[in-house]
Amino acid sequence: MAAATLAWGQALGEDDPEKVLPLYSDDAVLWGTLSPTVRSDRAALRDYFVTAFKVLPGLKVAFGDQLIRVYGNAAVNTGYYTFSYTKDGETKSLPARYSFTYVKNGERWLIVDHHSSAMPSPPK
């Protein structure tokens, strides 16, 4: 499970939607960090990543703590990650939390549900 999530992070860093999309099942759903719209088909997922790579140039992700639970052919990975990107020559970061739900397809774990949201500010 950790390896499947790491593969997603590496693919994200390649700045190419065609590297990321094969990690999602055909019926995957994405609630992305940058969008208020749920993405529930291949074209919508592609559109999300095309836009993300344009808006956040040089996008990379570093994972923090992960809580992985496996239930037979399904698994959930919940945790936090920090996106980094370069804008106007300056490196910026965006901390976020996530949940990936995976289903095993043959020998591969594919993402069927991905929720990501910006980390809220601590209460004052």
Q: Give dist(CA 98, CA 119) in Å, integer.
A: 9
DSSP 51-78: HHHHHSTT-EEEEEEEEEEEETTEEEEE
How confident is the model over 58-89, as pLDDT tens digits?
999 999 999 999 999 999 999 999 999 998 89
pTM, entire model:
0.94
Query: Whose CA is closest to 110, among 74, 70, 61?
Result: 74
Greater pLDDT, 40 or 122: 40
Q: Give dist(CA 34, CA 89) in Å, integer.
A: 21
pLDDT band at 122 (very low <50, low <70, confident <90, very high): confident
Sheet of strand 108-118: strand arrangement: 38-39, 24-31, 108-118, 90-105, 74-87, 60-71
Residue whose pair of structure tokens reads 């919940």 in the numeric block: 78
The mean pLDDT value for 36-54 works out to 96
pLDDT of 118 higher than 90: yes
Domains of the chain and any CATH numbers: 2-117 (3.10.450.50)
Q: Each residue of 41-71: b (16+ CB within 10 Å) or e?
A: eeebbbebbeebbeebeebbbebeebeeeee
The mean pLDDT value for 80-108 works out to 95
